[in-house]
Amino acid sequence: MTRHDDRTVKTPDTPNASPVSDSERLLFGGELAYDVGWDQHEGAWLKLSLWTMAKGLPRMVATGLRLARLADARALRVVLGAEVGRGIAQAAGLVAVNAALGHILAGGGTDERLRSAFPALVVVALTALVGSLLRSASTAATGELEPKVQRVATEQYLGLVHRVELAAIEDDEFHRLLDAARYGADSARRMIRYCTNTLNSGISLVAAAGVLTVLHPVLLPLLVLMTLPSGWRSLTVSRQRYLSFHAFVQHARAGHLLGQLLTQREAAAEVRVHEVGPFLLRHFREMAETSEREQTRLARSAAKVGLVADAASGVATLLTYGALGLLLWSGRMDLAVAGTAVLAIRTGSSSLDGLVLQMADLHQESLFVADFERLCTEAKARAIPETGEDLPDHVREVRFEKVTFTYPGSGDHTPEPTLREVSLTFPMGKVIALVGANGSGKSTVVKLLAGLHQPDPGGGTIWWDEVDAATADRGQIFARVGLMSQSFFRWPFTVRVNIGIGRPTRPIDDRAVREAAAFSGADRFIAGLRRDLSTLLGRGYRGGQEASGGEWQMIGISRAWYKGAQILVVDEPTSALDAVAEQRVFDRIRGLAAAGQTVVLITHRLHSVRHADLIHVMKDGRLAESGTFAELMAEGNGAGEFRHAYRIQAAAFADSLPSPRTEPAAAPAEVEGAP
């Protein structure tokens, strides 16, 4: 993807002349508006002229037509047929007007002239009627087509984006493209109308130009001259709008985010307790004012361009009608022809005006559609491969061999590796614990294990027995791992879906959902819900009920378990659970291990890993030591990291135990859970 780099091209139209607001600095750490030199279209825009636009027109129309054909081929045929028919009717109407005027302005009595003009007048009326009928057919079919095109375009990019590598989703450049492409799907919808209008204006123009050329050859260039200024105006204005959109796309999203935060349920408590409301509102206003300044700049610039264009247009109109008068005065054109010429000039100039306007709009929208296509291309390039080497049916172990991994950087920042030469194993059918300080890389290790990320190029290998995960069928890796990550998602759906979505490819089985709920202890909480499994979790929609942090965590564990995967990865599964619930979860996990299920457990509660078959201790992105609980606790063994941390926890716990003589006995679960 092209990055924001030193190829930036500054032009007088380049936006973001306004200084960076304090709000941007404080809330987002810097400027959100961009120079647009990075943009692939920039070169095209700078060279944009009527000629390049005309050259690009067939390609633009073809993009619109391709999407429209995918959306509804029948409606497209109606639109095309109706528009071509309208053009023909218009041309026939003009020819008939010419004939009628010829008869009316000829010599002879009024009756006779009207009688001879009558058939031509009937043709004029009929062509107007046919044109009107065709226009309504085209309007109806266009209206039908537009939402379908938007749906097809939206489905297309969503269908691609949900399959890209997680690294792409974490890449802010990809997000910027995503922002623009979202707008591109709307543009695809608008493009249909502009395509129809362009087609219509084009056909009307050909009709008017044909008639004018027949009347007098000098009239056609004059017609073109009249239209040039408005063409220049629409091009210039839409060019400025497009550049501005790209520069401010993230600024707009950030401003929108502030508005959302003020009304969002998740933030509501803090907004009130910490009186965040006025703070956010102030910054919302400041951000909005930056956008307003940009809008004002655009409007003023459009007004100036409009004035210049109008003046040029006035001169061109004077020239045209002056030339017509000259032809009439010199006797090189008779009155009937001049009358038709005036009509044809009016029709032709409004068609040409329309055509240029529509082309400019079409061009602007097509640039957004091109962003959309660029996103689709990028998403395809960064898609998770759909095929690969088969994993063995019965894997013995997953082995990390000198794995180094770096998260994508942001902006100019060059990131440091998060994992450095990590070598460890996950033997199947065992409970493997990953422990270590905050930020030591535990969650990152399981993301790599689950196939969500790959080691850096040349950064070691993850082996599923003899199969390299980098070349393996990733779908098979995903299928083997049930992941309850720290940031498991709280789907705003029913309890049934929140658990069943662990295996969405099959119909949700209530019996299995209940078993999964019983596994984590969520069954008791579900029994108290008004609508059992059909209860909507989360407020904000009708009938929604909120769950506590611990209850959500049980739902998360149930979801991972419901998947029935070979490897169950639970990252901090019990951080929000009370002591009894925590004990229950660990008992269940031990039970699973006894039945041959592989469990990878990440926890800071070191007493919970005593029963693990293997404990890996991470420190600063490296593996500090590995072994069983007894091995790691044995004096003089290994790096002593685990032993040290365990003793700190044990001492803290022992200090806080009440004296048995003065206090009631501690709950059995707490005592059992104590180291």
**Residues 631-670 close enough to bind ligand ATP by CB under 6 A:** none
Burial of 80 (0-12, 13-18, 19+ CB in 10 A): middle
Does residue 170 bind ligand ATP (CB under 6 A)? Answer: yes
Rounded CA separation 597/393 (Å): 15
Residue among 259, 244, 246, 257 at smallest CA distance from 299: 244
Q: Would you mind telling me the total number of residues written for the chain in this entry?
A: 675
**Residues 470-509 close enough to bind ligand ATP by CB under 6 A:** 486
Query: What are the CA-CA distances from residue 210 to residues 87, 100, 215, 217, 525 (Å)?
Result: 12, 18, 9, 10, 78
Comparing CB distances to ligand ATP, the nearer of 305 and 449 is 449
Tokens 């390609």 belong to which residue? 59
Comparing CB distances to ligand ATP, the nearer of 251 and 442 is 442
Comparing CB distances to ligand ATP, the nearer of 443 and 494 is 443
Comparing CB distances to ligand ATP, the nearer of 139 and 486 is 486
Site string for ligand ATP, 63-92 (x = CB under 6 A): ------------------------------
Rounded CA separation 288/280 (Å): 12
**Residues 425-464 close enough to bind ligand ATP by CB under 6 A:** 436, 438-444
Tokens 């210039």 belong to which residue? 236
**Residues 564-583 close enough to bind ligand ATP by CB under 6 A:** none
Q: Tell how many helices (H) and how many strands (E) occur in the chain.
A: 21, 10
DSSP track, 7-76:
T----TT----SPPPHHHHHHHSS-----STT-TTHHHHHT--HHHHHHHHHHHHHHHHHHHHHH-HHHH
- Minimum gap (Å) between residue 435 Cβ and ligand ATP: 9
Rounded CA separation 431/594 (Å): 9
- Minimum gap (Å) between residue 175 Cβ and ligand ATP: 13
- Minimum gap (Å) between residue 645 Cβ and ligand ATP: 12
Q: Secondary structure of 530-566 in the HEC alphabet?
A: CCHHHCEECCCCCCCECCCHHHHHHHHHHHHHHCCCC
Comparing CB distances to ligand ATP, the nearer of 325 and 439 is 439
- Minimum gap (Å) between residue 58 Cβ and ligand ATP: 44
- Minimum gap (Å) between residue 8 Cβ and ligand ATP: 26
Does residue 416 bind ligand ATP (CB under 6 A)? Answer: no
- Minimum gap (Å) between residue 571 Cβ and ligand ATP: 7
- Minimum gap (Å) between residue 488 Cβ and ligand ATP: 13
- Minimum gap (Å) between residue 440 Cβ and ligand ATP: 4
Comparing CB distances to ligand ATP, the nearer of 333 and 577 is 577
Half-sphere exposure of 47 (CA within 13 A, CB side): 9
Does residue 387 bind ligand ATP (CB under 6 A)? Answer: no
Rounded CA separation 599/633 (Å): 22
Comparing CB distances to ligand ATP, the nearer of 18 and 486 is 486
DSSP conformational letter for 639: -
**Residues 243-282 close enough to bind ligand ATP by CB under 6 A:** none
- Minimum gap (Å) between residue 290 Cβ and ligand ATP: 28
- Minimum gap (Å) between residue 424 Cβ and ligand ATP: 14
Q: Is the separation of the CB atoms in 619 and 440 below 8 Å?
A: yes
Rounded CA separation 499/513 (Å): 6
Q: 391 by DSSP, 3-state: which?
A: coil
Number of other residues whose CB lies within 10 A of the CB of residue 275: 9
Comparing CB distances to ligand ATP, the nearer of 93 and 441 is 441
- Tell me which of 340, 418, 498, 603 binds ligand ATP, using CB under 6 A: 418
Comparing CB distances to ligand ATP, the nearer of 170 and 310 is 170
How many residues sit in the footprint of ligand ATP (CB under 6 A)? 12
- Minimum gap (Å) between residue 416 Cβ and ligand ATP: 9
Comparing CB distances to ligand ATP, the nearer of 96 and 624 is 624
Comparing CB distances to ligand ATP, the nearer of 247 and 569 is 569
Q: Is the separation of the CB atoms in 284 and 24 below 8 Å?
A: no
Look at phi and psi of residue 208 and say left if phi exceeds 0, alpha if psi is from -120 to 50, else beta: alpha
Burial of 68 (0-12, 13-18, 19+ CB in 10 A): buried
Comparing CB distances to ligand ATP, the nearer of 213 and 575 is 575
- Minimum gap (Å) between residue 441 Cβ and ligand ATP: 4
Torsion from C-alpha of 208, 209, 215, 216, nearest 10 degrees: 150
Comparing CB distances to ligand ATP, the nearer of 405 and 586 is 405
Contacts of residue 322, defined as CB under 8 A and 6 or more positions apart, other chains included, come to: none
- Minimum gap (Å) between residue 407 Cβ and ligand ATP: 3
Helix axes 549-562, 579-594, angle to 10 degrees: 10
Residues that bind ligand ATP (CB under 6 A): 170, 407, 418, 436, 438-444, 486
